[in-house]
């Protein structure tokens, strides 16, 4: 039996987030009776600097060798308190995080007695686990100063330049024939009237000058092994030739897919019903001449907003895009001014009608909307329960819409063109998703770890997401996010090493008889067969193991333990949490 532990238990009020529904004083008081608990205290905000300092002082003063903090989700503060434990001279892995906020306070709002009891049970389990913790050291692995950027749109190209500026080598891989993405195709872009092809050309020019950027087109990532700081990536070129590239991190800037309307949706399929991008190309093609459709000069244009965005579920739309696509209001109102400019230049009179739900020209984009109105665009507001209908009528198009601002009067607008402002949808690429193992948010875009804390990081260490791959953005926002990903990747790679979690599988080679069950269960390919003395056994590839634990229950010999979640710890936690509660 190991020596008796000296554990400190701290219970957090989280302002009132916990203490409104959990009697934190009671939890602390009850835990004080546990055999290995040396001290219990409560804190208003355990995460605050002052509370941390108090705990550090106490840990040192009382020579504690274990620490349990009952507070919020470990997603928020596990690392905060591990770092604090380290500053206090503890091994960070002797710290155990208990979540009494999400699991007690928030799950049992209004049941203070029950929430408090549960808090006591799970904190006891935490103490039992803590009593069996070992001192562990992270694995320090060397990193490669190279990054792969996937997707050569503006966000990806600009990220590559920044990475190179910081002294990292970059491989940019682009699935298509040409780099430049969406911006290369749309011409003039709001809000500052920048010309997309020029932006792309300028970036490519800079990339050509950079020695340490290599751009591959017609290239796809097909396989990936290794870990943050040292991945081996297989890239297939032109669908046939494979190259192997060694990189420390990936930045995924694969962009979006524009929404494709259903047949008949707002007249889609009728001649003269076009997307905004089509319309802009028509306008650009018209130059200083006449804007025509089917040879007839265009007199009236209707714009319909929110096509493929902000959808609700219905029979015709079983998998709605519930999100707002963010960029379309600005792009459409900007187009209004371009059309007005064309009118002035060409002398061709064109009426424009904008059929919207809410005009979401946020922040300074409001100026684009204001200009559109000043330029003569008429705005009509429709309700999603009665969306506009587009029909063919006398060789032209007719839009029937109830304007909610005119007492829901039904208006009929004759138009030569109906422009659908189609939204952004997630780009589907199952190969890439499977190779990178990135997950998706509810809206189908790639999922960040935390939208505010770690917005460009994913669950896979070393794989960063940016631009519209993460969610709809305008071009400036895409680039800002891709540079944020550069900063994070730089933060991981510029030091030359990374420390990896030691909470991974351990195999008792004495017990192991190599049955290959663990190998089959491991999604990370972290098991290898090796010869050990006179027999074959399984070995864990430490840099690949994520401590996921799928191997543990399948091992008939009970030869595998996950450090930090060892069988004896789990059993002790179950026992401790079952202990009866004696209440006064």
Partner 1 sequence: MTLNTEKRPPLDYDVMIVGAGVAGMEAAASMGDMGYRVLLVEKNASIGGRAILLSKVFPTLDCASCVVTPKMASVSHHPNVQLMTYSEIDGISRKADGSFDVALHRKAAYVDFDACTGCGKCAEICTVTVPDQYNYDLVTRRIAHIPFPQAVPKKSVITRRGEAPCTFTCPGNVKASGYVSLVRAGRYKEAFNLHLENAPLVGSLSRACYAPCESDCTRGEKEGTLHIRGIKRFMADRYYAEHPEPEYGPVENRLDTRVAIVGSGPAGLSAAFYLARQGHQVTIFEAEKEPGGMLRTAIPAYRLPEDVVDRDIKNVTALGVDIKTGYRITSLPELKQQGFNATLIATGASDENGLDIDGHDLEGVMGCMHFLHEVNIGKLPDVKNKIVMVIGGGNSAMDPARAAIRMGAGKVMINYRRGRKEMPAHDWEIEGAADEGVELMLMSAPIRFIGLNGKLVAVECISMELGEPDESGRRRPIPVKGSERVISVDMAILAIGLLPSTAHFPADMKNGKGLLLSDPQTLQTSDPDVFACGDCVTAPTMIINAIAQGRRAAFYMDRHLKGESLNVPFDGVIEKTDKSIVLEEARHFVERQPVQQPMLSIDERRKTFECYEQPMTEAEARQEAQRCMNCGECSQCMECVSVCAPQCIDFAQKPIPLSLNVGTVVMSTGFGILNPATKPLLGYDKFADVISGPQMDRLLAPTRPYNAVLRPSDGKEPESIAFVLCVGSRDHTVCNPLCCRIGCMYSMKQAQLAMGALPMADITIYTIDVRAFGKGYNEFYEQSKSMGIEFVKGKVARIEQLGNGNLALHYEDMLGKGGRNIREHDLVVLTVGFLPNTNALALYKGSELAADDFGYVREIDPISEPTRTNVDGLFVAGTAIGVMDIPDTVLHSGAAAAQAAAYLERMRGR
Q: Rule CB under 8 A: which of 140-199 touch partner 1?
A: 154, 158, 162, 165-167, 189, 192, 194, 199
Q: How far is the CB of 107 from partner 1 (least distance, A)?
A: 15
Q: In whole angstroms, what is the distance from residue 512 CA to residue 524 CA?
A: 20
98 lies in the site for partner 1, by CB under 8 A: no
Q: Please, are residues 266 and 418 in contact by the beta-carbon 8 Å criterion?
A: yes
Q: How far is the CB of 53 from partner 1 (least distance, A)?
A: 8
Of 405 and 556, the one with the shorter C-beta distance to partner 1 is 405
Of 483 and 545, the one with the shorter C-beta distance to partner 1 is 483
511 lies in the site for partner 1, by CB under 8 A: no
Name, in order, each residue with C-beta under 8 angstroms of 143's C-beta and a sequence gap of 6 or more: 228, 229, 230, 248, 492, 493, 495, 496, 497, 498
Pairing label, strands 66-71, 95-99: parallel
264 forms beta bridges with none
Q: Which stretch binds partner 1 (CB under 8 A): 58-66, 213-221, 339-347, 435-443?
A: 435-443
Of 48 and 583, the one with the shorter C-beta distance to partner 1 is 48
Task: State the number of binding residues for partner 1 (CB under 8 A).
Answer: 81
Q: In whole angstroms, what is the distance from residue 217 CA to residue 181 CA?
A: 12
Q: In whole angstroms, what is the distance from residue 303 CA to residue 334 CA?
A: 12
End-to-end CA distance of the chain: 33
16 lies in the site for partner 1, by CB under 8 A: yes
Q: How far is the CB of 188 from partner 1 (least distance, A)?
A: 13
Q: How far is the CB of 316 from partner 1 (least distance, A)?
A: 19
Of 351 and 481, the one with the shorter C-beta distance to partner 1 is 481
Of 10 and 342, the one with the shorter C-beta distance to partner 1 is 10
Of 358 and 516, the one with the shorter C-beta distance to partner 1 is 358
Q: Which stretch binds partner 1 (CB under 8 A): 32-40, 123-131, 467-475, 502-510?
A: 467-475
Site for partner 1 in 281-320 (CB under 8 A): 309-310, 312
Q: Which of 12, 74, 96, 7 is nearest to 47 (CA)?
A: 12
Site for partner 1 in 51-90 (CB under 8 A): 52-53, 72, 76-77, 79-80, 83, 87
459 lies in the site for partner 1, by CB under 8 A: no
Pairing label, strands 273-275, 417-422: parallel
Pairing label, strands 396-403, 409-415: antiparallel
Q: Which stretch binds partner 1 (CB under 8 A): 41-49, 264-272, 414-422, 513-521?
A: 41-49
Of 309 and 569, the one with the shorter C-beta distance to partner 1 is 309
**Greatest C-alpha distance within the chain:** 93
Q: In whole angstroms, what is the distance from residue 220 CA to residue 236 CA?
A: 5
Of 295 and 363, the one with the shorter C-beta distance to partner 1 is 363
The full length of the chain comes to 584
Q: Which of 67, 61, 68, 70 is nearest to 17 (CA)?
A: 70
Q: In whole angstroms, what is the distance from residue 323 CA to residue 312 CA?
A: 10
365 lies in the site for partner 1, by CB under 8 A: yes
45 lies in the site for partner 1, by CB under 8 A: yes
Q: In whole angstroms, what is the distance from residue 466 CA to residue 393 CA?
A: 45
21 lies in the site for partner 1, by CB under 8 A: no
Name, in order, each residue with C-beta under 8 angstroms of 327's C-beta and a sequence gap of 6 or more: 424, 472, 473, 474
211 lies in the site for partner 1, by CB under 8 A: no
487 lies in the site for partner 1, by CB under 8 A: yes
421 lies in the site for partner 1, by CB under 8 A: no
484 lies in the site for partner 1, by CB under 8 A: yes
Site for partner 1 in 534-553 (CB under 8 A): none
Task: Tally Cβ neighbours within 10 Å of residue 116.
Answer: 24
Which contiguous run of DSSP H or E holds residue 194?
Answer: strand 194-195
Of 293 and 492, the one with the shorter C-beta distance to partner 1 is 492
Of 54 and 548, the one with the shorter C-beta distance to partner 1 is 54
Q: Please, are residues 133 and 37 in contact by the beta-carbon 8 Å criterion?
A: no
For residue 443, with 0-12 CB atoms within 10 Å meaning exposed, 13-18 middle and 19 or more buried, which class applies?
middle
443 lies in the site for partner 1, by CB under 8 A: yes
323 lies in the site for partner 1, by CB under 8 A: yes
Of 380 and 504, the one with the shorter C-beta distance to partner 1 is 380
Site for partner 1 in 367-406 (CB under 8 A): 367, 370, 404-405
Q: Which of 457, 436, 479, 448 is nearest to 161 (CA)?
A: 479
Q: In whole angstroms, what is the distance from residue 317 CA to residue 330 CA?
A: 25
Q: Please, are residues 475 and 184 in contact by the beta-carbon 8 Å criterion?
A: no
Q: In whole angstroms, what is the distance from residue 480 CA to residue 470 CA?
A: 13
Of 119 and 472, the one with the shorter C-beta distance to partner 1 is 472
Q: How far is the CB of 572 from partner 1 (least distance, A)?
A: 29
407 lies in the site for partner 1, by CB under 8 A: yes
107 lies in the site for partner 1, by CB under 8 A: no
């Amino acid at each position: 039996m190991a020596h008796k532990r000296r554990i400190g238990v701290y219970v957090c009020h989280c302002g009132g987030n916990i203490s409104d529904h959990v009697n934190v004083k009671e939890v602390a008081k009850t835990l004080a009776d546990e055999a290995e608990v040396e001290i219990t205290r409560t804190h208003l905000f355990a995460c605050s600097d002052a509370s941390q300092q108090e705990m550090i002082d106490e840990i040192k003063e009382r020579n504690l060798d274990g620490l349990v903090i009952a507070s919020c989700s470990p997603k928020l503060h596990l690392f905060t308190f591990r770092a604090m434990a380290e500053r206090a001279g503890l091994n960070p892995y002797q710290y155990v995080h208990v979540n009494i906020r999400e699991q007690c306070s928030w799950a049992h709002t209004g049941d203070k007695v029950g929430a408090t009891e549960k808090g006591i049970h799970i904190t006891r389990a935490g103490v039992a686990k803590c009593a069996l913790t070992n001192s562990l050291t992270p694995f320090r692995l060397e990193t490669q100063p190279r990054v792969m950027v996937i997707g050569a749109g503006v966000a990806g190209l600009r990220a590559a330049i920044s990475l190179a500026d910081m002294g990292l080598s970059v491989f940019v891989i682009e699935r298509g024939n040409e780099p430049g993405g969406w911006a290369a195709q749309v011409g003039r872009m709001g809000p500052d009237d920048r010309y997309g092809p020029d932006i792309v050309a300028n970036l490519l020019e800079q990339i050509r000058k950079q020695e340490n950027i290599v751009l591959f087109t017609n290239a796809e990532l097909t396989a990936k092994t290794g870990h943050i700081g040292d991945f081996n990536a297989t890239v297939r070129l032109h669908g046939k030739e494979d190259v192997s590239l060694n990189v420390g991190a990936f930045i995924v800037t694969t962009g979006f897919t524009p929404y494709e309307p259903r047949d008949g949706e707002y007249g889609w399929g009728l001649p003269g019903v076009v997307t905004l991008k089509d319309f802009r190309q028509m306008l650009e093609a018209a130059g200083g001449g006449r804007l025509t459709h089917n040879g007839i000069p265009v007199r009236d244009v209707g714009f319909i907003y929110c096509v493929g965005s902000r959808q609700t579920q219905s029979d015709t739309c079983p998998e709605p895009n519930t999100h707002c696509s963010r960029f379309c209001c600005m792009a459409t109102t900007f187009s209004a001014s371009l059309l007005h400019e064309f009118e002035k230049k060409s002398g061709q009179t064109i009426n424009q009608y904008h059929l919207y739900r809410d005009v979401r020209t946020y922040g300074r984009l409001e100026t684009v909307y204001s200009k559109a109105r000043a330029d003569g665009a008429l705005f009509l507001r429709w309700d999603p329960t009665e969306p506009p209908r587009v029909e063919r009528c006398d060789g032209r198009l007719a839009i029937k819409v109830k304007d909610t601002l005119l007492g829901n009067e039904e208006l009929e607008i004759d138009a030569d063109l109906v422009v659908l402002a189609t939204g952004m949808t997630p780009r589907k690429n199952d190969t890439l998703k499977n190779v990178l193992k990135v997950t998706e948010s509810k809206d189908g875009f790639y999922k960040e770890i935390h939208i505010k804390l770690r917005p460009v990081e994913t669950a896979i260490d070393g794989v960063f997401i940016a631009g519209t791959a993460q969610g709809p953005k305008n071009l400036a926002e895409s680039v800002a996010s891709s540079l944020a990903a550069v900063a994070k990747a730089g933060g991981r790679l510029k030091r030359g090493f990374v420390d990896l979690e030691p909470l991974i599988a351990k195999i008792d080679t004495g017990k192991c008889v190599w049955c290959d069950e663990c190998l089959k269960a491991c999604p990370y390919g972290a098991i290898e067969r090796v010869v050990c003395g006179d027999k074959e056994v399984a070995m864990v590839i430490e840099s690949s193991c994520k401590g996921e634990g799928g191997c543990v229950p399948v091992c008939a010999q009970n030869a595998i333990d996950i450090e930090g979640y060892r069988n004896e710890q789990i059993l002790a936690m179950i026992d401790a949490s079952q202990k009866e509660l004696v209440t006064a």
